[in-house]
Amino acid sequence: MAQQMKVDDEVRLNILKALLEPGAVAPNIRHLQRRTGYHKATIKSSLDFLAKERLITGFGPKMDFKKFGYTLEVLTLLHADLTKKKALGAFRAEVAKDPHIYLLSGIVGAGNWNLIARHIYRDIESYHRDMNDN
User: Half-sphere exposure of 13 toward its Cβ, with a 13 Å CA cutoff?
Assistant: 6
pLDDT of residue 59: 83
pLDDT digits (tens, 9 = 90+) for 15-33: 888 887 877 888 899 999 9
**Threshold 0.85, pTM exceeds:** no
Q: What is the pLDDT averaged over residues 72-80?
A: 91
pLDDT over threshold 90, residue 107: no
Backbone angles phi, psi at 121, to 5 degrees: -140, 155
pLDDT over threshold 70, residue 109: no
